[in-house]
Structure 1
């Protein structure tokens, strides 16, 4: 991702939390409908109408998803709604799989669709079947592959969730070094993309990642005995949709802030397995996920919908739920893939030695 596309995507992410006129095509003359092609690159080319896509997906009867925890951005309700709406069985494979694990396991487990970090999707684009959803024009160019190999469905900001009964609201990552904070990352940064991004956010200086600064902060917390696990922490560094979900369940005991000096943002992208065993169901899943209903269900899980700006303009975005998203201090910083790779190399080299 270039600096220019990062800047453009940042503006979109900021506005999405606050169309193509529809996510379904107009009715088509039955005599002019194309032959059904379950591996086509768009609904129009392969099916002609959403109804024909639904029929083809129902004939397959199943969909294999991977790496979708049910408590992550409301995926439990998304999956159940899809299954009930279309009468298709959804097989949930390895819900806790990382992006890299999703692709490693694909030859054996045969998922139909993926939910991935951007860097993994870009590097592995050859493993995906190009497909452009009906709402393609609503997706900003910087967050979709021009060929349709991958496309962002939702995004978020790195945040600090905290217990207001135990500590004062942290305005910056440096505040976590003040007395009283017991801090946790959302996993091990050597294995978890979310935890690594927490270190990356703490490393930002004037919008530029300096990995040593992030490792320094957590090394100091470790030395002082205040870097702990999730169950013992009164401050958790995680994506805002994860911290906001915690807050929704215990609002008096958990609040969320996005540090004003380090508003790191990122997107999760979708892709169809080139070897999908249920290719029509895979395409229907993407159409559902990017429909107004699907995007609003993701927002219900406190994610920021990729089509959010267009939906807001048309009045189809759930404004009440949008108002519940953690307040952003401004457009996010979106690091480039080379910047992220350099930070990963540093963390891999230093984390075990300095933090353990």
Structure 2
């Protein structure tokens, strides 16, 4: 994704306690004082209605009293890196301090020397497969592939990819489009392949193609793109997308018709964004304080309030710090605990496989 259109239990007490010191750690007074002396944080590409960033920014300002200078809220990930490049020697208001980019842009920014390392105090509770081991970039929030179900059509809601093979779902299951041209659609096919036992990468993607070919042959796959309108009308009463998009659709429809968002029990595949600090940040201490806020329980909960799963979701669930009213708006937490984060290499292999095999297997041009 390059455009910011924004268009992935209980443990034993001892294991849970491992995270206690880091999860509740506060930034040092020295860092807070240094950030306040700088007085400002410059962000870029953070629309207020995406992941509740409006609430996140306001929470940071309220907590620390810093000014937040917001550049181009609708910029894309590539635009963010270009803004860093264009302002290497600029300490003014056009130079971003911090970045929020798609996964592939984190390693690219590191390779180009555009970001600097910093490990937040809650570092250990960020999953290893969602962060650079040296601290140059780290996952901030994610969505998981899910499907929405029109409950007027299907009062008994399917809970897995395997369930969707049943004859009860004839002419009912839809994708958003062609997986060769849309990342979320490709990842839906990938997730189906994981459910079918596929190994990460091309194997999962090819098994996912086999899954949807089976749905097509049985008549379960609708040859119409899944949309909110088609979901509501019953044209595509089941369709796939990232969970945060589907949860927003559910809320917008407000029970007319009733919608249930299902995280499939047999495959939980996540797509993650990452945070980083510019190597040329004019306000490096404010940037570090921003990161501390984002990765605190308070900051993570503000993202969750916008239906974007904070990267420390599993840790916070295990410690029981997520308000029940938030959890009640989401699919069951135990499914999210199984989320896997495909690597860049696995995603590239999947893209190659879908480009080569989707058309010929599905009988398309």
TM-score, scaled to structure 1: 0.72
Alpha-carbon shift at residue 94 of structure 1 (Å) = 5.0
* Residues 263 and 308 of structure 1: CA distance in aligned 2, closer, same or farther (over 3 Å): closer
Residue of structure 2 aligned with 1:24, choices 10, 26, 31:
26
Alpha-carbon shift at residue 96 of structure 1 (Å) = 6.3
Which has the higher mean CA deviation after the structures are superposed, 263-272 or 244-253?
244-253
* Residues 278 and 197 of structure 1: CA distance in aligned 2, closer, same or farther (over 3 Å): farther
Residue of structure 2 aligned with 1:64, choices 18, 43, 48:
43
Aligned residues: 318
Deviations 1:190-218 (A, max 9, x none): 56543332232133221535323434628
How far, CA to CA, are the matches of 1:104 and 1:223 in structure 2?
Answer: 42
Which has the higher mean CA deviation after the structures are superposed, 80-89 or 129-138?
80-89
Partner of 2:51: helix, strand, or coil? coil
Alignment RMSD (CA, Å): 3.8
* Residues 52 and 96 of structure 1: CA distance in aligned 2, closer, same or farther (over 3 Å): closer
Deviations 1:85-111 (A, max 9, x none): 5342342525362x4554356535754
* Residues 154 and 20 of structure 1: CA distance in aligned 2, closer, same or farther (over 3 Å): farther
Contact 1:20–1:137 under 8 Å retained in 2: no
How far, CA to CA, are the matches of 1:84 and 1:309 in structure 2?
Answer: 27
Residue of structure 2 aligned with 1:332, choices 326, 331, 339:
339
Task: Tell me the residue number matched to 2:225.
Answer: 227
How far, CA to CA, are the matches of 2:178 and 2:293 in structure 1?
Answer: 33
Contact 2:34–2:286 under 8 Å retained in 1: no
Task: Tell me the residue number matched to 1:206.
Answer: 197
Deviations 1:209-233 (A, max 9, x none): 5323434628949995322444434
* Residues 51 and 331 of structure 1: CA distance in aligned 2, closer, same or farther (over 3 Å): same
How far, CA to CA, are the matches of 1:346 and 1:95 in structure 2?
Answer: 31
Residue of structure 2 aligned with 1:294, choices 285, 291, 299:
299
Task: Tell me the residue number matched to 1:77.
Answer: 55
Partner of 1:232: helix, strand, or coil? helix
Contact 2:228–2:249 under 8 Å retained in 1: no
* Residues 276 and 26 of structure 1: CA distance in aligned 2, closer, same or farther (over 3 Å): closer
How far, CA to CA, are the matches of 1:82 and 1:171 in structure 2?
Answer: 38
Alpha-carbon shift at residue 254 of structure 1 (Å) = 1.8
How far, CA to CA, are the matches of 2:36 and 2:349 in structure 1?
Answer: 44
TM-score, scaled to structure 2: 0.71
How far, CA to CA, are the matches of 1:195 and 1:101 in structure 2?
Answer: 24
Contact 1:111–1:276 under 8 Å retained in 2: yes
Contact 1:73–1:242 under 8 Å retained in 2: no
* Residues 312 and 230 of structure 1: CA distance in aligned 2, closer, same or farther (over 3 Å): closer
